[in-house]
Amino acid sequence: MRAVASPGYPFDEQDARLRVERELDAGLPSGVRDSRAQARQISATWHGPSLRNLRVPTLVLHGEKDPLIRPAAGRRIAASVPDARYVELPGIGHDLPREIWPTVTQEIRARID
């Protein structure tokens, strides 16, 4: 979790431990220890409609410092969906620290109103 954390925000090790423990207690597969799950995600093929055919309010949030998926990928997705809104979150990695939750909530509310 630390490897994909947001460099612009403090890493909350206690919260990260609690989340991992909850996943383990619930029997959920952890992406960290399930390499087959990661391989399935990486090689997954989209079977839905073309993004250009979507006609729903679409919000694409992407971390500016995401070490796994570059922001350009988020921009391409948003550009493919009619009227999509793209928001790049400064200092955010491949996680969503609590400090950014109000911004995320605000963006979602603005998009569905």
Could you give the domains of the chain?
A: 2-112 (3.40.50.1820)
- Which residue's structure tokens are 């996680």? 95
**63-77 residue pLDDT tens:** 999 999 999 999 999
| pLDDT score of 69 | 93
Please answer whether residues 9 and 100 qualify as being in contact, where contact means their C-beta atoms are separated by less than 8 angstroms: yes
Average pLDDT over residues 91-109: 95
pLDDT for position 29:
55
Q: So what's the pLDDT on residue 32?
A: 53
Q: Is 4 within 8 Å of 95 (Cβ atoms)?
A: yes
Torsion sign (Cα): 93, 96, 102, 107: positive
pLDDT surpassing 60 at residue 14 = yes
Cβ–Cβ under 8 Å, residues 54 and 81? yes
Residue 48 CB partners (closer than 8 Å, separation 6+): none
pLDDT (tens digit per residue) in 20-54? 888 777 765 554 556 677 777 778 787 777 889 98
Q: Give the pLDDT confidence score for residue 97 in this predicted structure.
A: 92
Select from 113, 36, 109, 52 the least CA-distant residue to 84.
52
Question: What average pLDDT does the chain have?
Answer: 88
